[in-house]
Amino acid sequence: MPLLEPKPGALRPRTLSGPAPDRVPDRASTGTPEPLRRELAELLGADKVLSGISDLVRYASDASPYRFLPQVVVIAEDIDDVSAVLSYAHGKQREVVFRAAGTSLNGQAQGEDILVDVRRHWAGVEVLEEGLRARIQPGTTVLRANAALARHGRILGPDPASAIACTLGGVVANNASGMTAGTTRNSYRTLSSLTFVLPSGTVVDTADPLADEELEHAEPALCHGLMEIKKEIEADPELVARIRAKYEIKNTTGYRLDAYLDGATPVEILRGLMVGSEGTLGFIAEVVFDTLPLDRELTSALLFFPSLPAAAAAVPLFNEAGALAVELMDGNTLRASVSVSGVPADWAGLPKDTTALLVEFRAPDEAGRAEYERRAAEVLAGLDLVTPVASVTNAFTRDAKTISGYWKARKAFVTAVGGARASGTTLITEDFAVPPSRLAEACEALLELQAEHGFDAAVAGHAAHGNLHFLLAFDAARPADVERYAAFMDAFCRLTVERFDGSLKAEHSTGRNMAPFLELEWGPRATEMMWRTKRVVDPDLVLAPRILLDRDPQAHLRGLKTIPQVEAVADPCIECGFCEPTCPSEDLTTTPRQRIVLRREMMRQQPGSPVLDGLLDAYGYDAVDTCAGDSTCKLACPVGIDTGALMKDFRHRRHSPREERAAELAALRFGAVEGAARLAVAAADKITDVVGDGMLEAVTGAARRIVRPDLVPEWLPQVPGAAARKLPATRRGGAAAVYYPACVNRIFGGPDGASGPSLPEAVVAVSERAGRPVWIPGDVRGTCCATIWHSKGYDAGNRVMANRIVEAAWGWTAGGRLPLVVDASSCTLGIAHEVVPYLTDDNRSLHAELRIVDSIVWAAEELLPHLEVRRTVGSAVLHPTCSMRHLDDEAHLRTVAEACADEVVVPYDTGCCAFAGDRGMLHPELTESATAGEAAEVTARQFDAHLSANRMCEVGMDRATGRSYYSALLELERATRP
């Protein structure tokens, strides 16, 4: 469906009082200009060149307050592609910027010419030497890398708060550190080797013993230039002392000049310079890290102080006691964090000056942890806390869930505060460092400066290392607000440098916001060395100009993005990108962040704009149709923005009254619809038995072309046959639970060729076997969890079925006295949560009394303790569904699987399969893209069982892997069968 809206104007912006100052101009509406598009397509292949206006706009934003529209986006698959782009740029005098996760906070992932995506094809972790080292591709997230290392009891040194989304290439390029890295565990200190591509296209592997010899042959002028700079620095004792002093605290401003002191050869110098170079000196193609021990014995406390300076004054005491992390959160941060799931609501009422310290000790063993707790108790005894703590046992906890909650609140700092900002304002995130001993003084000075310039910023940070972050919000569309921000920045930079001799950028790297202040911090001599470094390595200034070095004193005010108001569910978005790794369509069309970015650009445009028309033309497929609607983005977003819900709303807005009425009638007459669907599946099964799948594929393909792909499913060979006509016989008397076989399991049967019971038969049998019999009501046919209508945005039908299932469940369960066990995880989620907004007031009261239990949870908690496992399979691979993530049931799936298999594996890259009911049949390319990583892991070896908990997800995984997935309850029944 090309258009988002069948009704003209339905989703077009309101009439603006004037054009947005940063709107994309009309001349860009046709996308990438010629001959740029054609030449790159000929060089790399058309599939690697994104050139439409929608493509350019969605890549124009990152997590920073800046926005720059690229001329073209290139999806690089390998080093050859990178080298080809660099060669082309040299020959055509063009500029290149590399972008991975786009989580950088100062515009490092934005370019105005050729933007190269180096995330999509650059993921992978190779664990070396039993985890002592790890070879990592630059598009791999920190979270993914640490998951691989955790099995070996190791971890990476850098631990940025954005670990869920940020990639190792960006972490190294920005020398991002995080909560515990400080100056000793960051990338500069823990990298073993790098492979990078210089602007000329030369590839350097610093681990190669011949690297210097080969570099000298390929780049003699570069080698000579680096060694000359090294000699000059070393000949200047004052400069050497200055450089060493600057890195005694966290510092990522400018190039790492200590690379000239630490490296003896050009390759060694380049290895150091690449760290924190922000993509201005080369492309980091691979990293090898020396890892650190994963100390698993933790003790943590969240301590509340009456003021920010009081909290800061306590930091050195915990440092001396051996705390690995001391994180600070001021009152604004604490109050804003109530939007984060699990944060106590009463934080909203905390006094304005209240400040918290999150203190954590980590030890390799119990004795070490006990010693840390003893030291912490001594520190606590002398502190003036808002809530006095009598002993360490009252303050510090070892409970993993509680500690995880503390860190969730801390890591959500930027997004939580950003989500609470005034609608329409732009968010600036800055970080600086001072000597830890002067942290309290710096805090007081920062608060005074903010008040002087009319800001009430939120402050948080890695207090143990003297590193603070603060957020400011202002309206970038108002010149007066921009001027106020500029005045504050000038004053702040002078304060940090002149009063504290601090670092203007502690861990976020220089970026566009601090480039004009580089010389203020470093002085003219050191700054000139940085400019010379750039000219030696990149003499044609091809890579990322104006990101790290810029002599324009107003450069940080250029490209500031406005934040037009969009739909309420998405308006709090600060475009951080945390949602992107979880999105099934991230490698096919758009991500949740990009869907919102595109929507905001629509709101910047005037009615009738050709840019607006172009965006709307693409949005239908790119954003709405290829959204799986799984809402895992909500789980990844610290403030719970559900872009899936927004896309479902857009689907609803598409519907004509006739379509809505047809969907409502289907709900009203679902008994007949269900019966007809089962018969149709049975008939299709017979047809394929005779003539194969080709005929049905041709028929559905033709229908999709005539009607539209988003309405007519494509026939897939993996679609299972029909379910049995009758459900198993059960008795109400003595039942421990009501068993609700989902309509998908009443229509579709199990895997083709499988022997043994159906899923309903297995649930009934294994429950009986455990002494917890279940009862299937006789009138379940014609009812549904309502997800069919909910996912497609059919509100009227959704409302009909939501109320019907709740009323029926109330009667079946005798008013909630018995649990309702549901045998499909998506249906469990639907009945337990998704139906609620569509219920009448009376039915909402009934729903509150129901106990909705997923069949996997029922098996793990109620059945397994009473079952005897008689046989197991050797190995089982699991596919936890996205619904299970929402329900927090993944651990129960593993529990059931571990009872049935000697080895249980959950793939590292498991995620939503994007089959999403029938969306995988409407858009098979979505499931193919979403499951590519998981499928590669699964098919890399043999497993005896492939287990999940939702029939259509199992079909999606069948299609992705060529293996046969089925419910873990079928395996449990087999394992416990007498």
Contact (CB, 8 A) for 94 and 53: no
Give the max Cα distance, the chain.
92
Looking at the DSSP bridge assignments, the partners of residue 503 are 433
Residue 657 has which token pair? 């009254």
Residue 373: which region, alpha, beta or left (left: phi > 0; alpha: psi -120 to 50)? alpha
Residue 638 has which token pair? 């610290």
393 and 319, same domain (yes or no): yes
Is 571 contained in some domain? yes
851 and 898, same domain (yes or no): no
Residue 118 has which token pair? 């180096």
**DSSP 3-state percent helix, strand, coil across the chain (nearest 5):** 50, 15, 40
The CA distances from residue 247 to 43, 232, 502, 718, in Å, are: 43, 19, 10, 59
Q: Which one of 630, 646, 662 terminates a domain? A: 646
Is 640 contained in some domain? yes
The CA distances from residue 668 to 787, 798, 800, 822, in Å, are: 15, 10, 7, 22
Q: Measured between alpha carbons, how far is 812 from 740 in angstroms, rounded to an integer?
A: 10
Q: Which one of 839, 861, 883 terminates a domain? A: 861
Residues ≥6 apart with Cβ < 8 Å to 165: 101, 103, 141, 576, 577, 578, 579, 580, 581, 636
Looking at the DSSP bridge assignments, the partners of residue 744 are none
Residue 683 has which token pair? 């008939």
Burial class (CB in 10 A: 0-12, 13-18, 19+), 271: buried
Contact (CB, 8 A) for 468 and 459: yes
Q: Which one of 861, 883, 906 terminates a domain? A: 861
488 and 356, same domain (yes or no): yes
Q: Measured between alpha carbons, how far is 502 from 486 in angstroms, rounded to an integer?
A: 20
352 and 436, same domain (yes or no): yes
Is 784 contained in some domain? yes
First to last CA, the chain: 54
The CA distances from residue 830 to 554, 606, 777, 887, 950, in Å, are: 52, 39, 19, 10, 13
- In 3D space, the residue among 517, 501, 511 whose CA is nearest the CA of residue 547 turns out to be 511
The CA distances from residue 757 to 762, 775, 876, 953, 973, in Å, are: 6, 17, 20, 20, 9
Q: Measured between alpha carbons, how far is 947 from 825 in angstroms, rounded to an integer?
A: 13
Question: What's the half-sphere exposure (Cβ side, CA atoms, 13 Å) at 34?
Answer: 2
568 and 487, same domain (yes or no): no
Contact (CB, 8 A) for 207 and 218: no
The pTM for the full model equals 0.94
Is 516 contained in some domain? no
Backbone φ, ψ for residue 68 (5° rounding): -135, 130
Q: Measured between alpha carbons, how far is 450 from 473 in angstroms, rounded to an integer?
A: 12
812 and 842, same domain (yes or no): yes
For residues 173-203, one letter each, b for 16 or more C-beta atoms within 10 angstroms of the residue's C-beta and e for the rest, the string is bbbbbbbbbbbebbbbbbbbbbbbbbbbbbb
Is 159 contained in some domain? no
The torsion of the CA quartet 938, 940, 942, 946, rounded to 10 degrees, works out to 0
pLDDT at res. 6: 44
Residue 177 has which token pair? 């550190």
How many structural domains does the chain have?
4
SS3 431: strand
The β-bridge relationship of strands 283-290 and 325-329 is unpaired
Is 621 contained in some domain? yes
418 and 378, same domain (yes or no): yes
Backbone φ, ψ for residue 594 (5° rounding): -65, -35
SS3 305: strand
In what helix (H) or strand (E) does residue 873 lie, and over which residues does it extend?
A: strand 873-878
938 and 847, same domain (yes or no): no
The CA distances from residue 169 to 71, 284, 515, in Å, are: 23, 6, 21
The CA distances from residue 3 to 59, 450, 857, in Å, are: 21, 47, 42
pLDDT at res. 594: 98
The β-bridge relationship of strands 774-775 and 737-740 is parallel
How many angstroms from the chain centroid is the CA of residue 720?
Answer: 33
pLDDT at res. 2: 36
| pLDDT < 50: residue spans in the chain | 1-6, 8, 15-16, 690-691, 693, 695-708, 711-712, 715
Contact (CB, 8 A) for 173 and 325: no
Q: Measured between alpha carbons, how far is 869 from 269 in angstroms, rounded to an integer?
A: 61
The domain containing residue 475 runs over which residues?
Answer: 297-507
Q: One-letter amino acid identity for 194? A: L
The CA distances from residue 431 to 153, 246, 315, 574, 899, in Å, are: 31, 16, 18, 17, 49
What residue spans of 11-93 are helical by DSSP H?
Answer: 36-44, 53-58, 79-92
826 and 950, same domain (yes or no): no
Q: Measured between alpha carbons, how far is 749 from 762 in angstroms, rounded to an integer?
A: 13
- In 3D space, the residue among 246, 303, 272, 264 whose CA is nearest the CA of residue 190 turns out to be 272
For residues 143-168, one letter each, b for 16 or more C-beta atoms within 10 angstroms of the residue's C-beta and e for the rest, the string is ebbbebbeebebbbbbbbbbbbbbbb
724 and 857, same domain (yes or no): yes
Is 283 contained in some domain? no
The CA distances from residue 810 to 252, 690, 731, 831, in Å, are: 60, 45, 18, 12
CATH number at residue 458: 3.40.462.10
691 and 751, same domain (yes or no): yes
Instruction: Note the pLDDT tens digit of each residue in 340-356.
Output: 888 888 888 888 899 99
Looking at the DSSP bridge assignments, the partners of residue 178 are 159
- DSSP class of residue 792 equals H
In what helix (H) or strand (E) does residue 194 lie, and over which residues does it extend?
A: strand 191-197
433 and 414, same domain (yes or no): yes
Is 165 contained in some domain? no
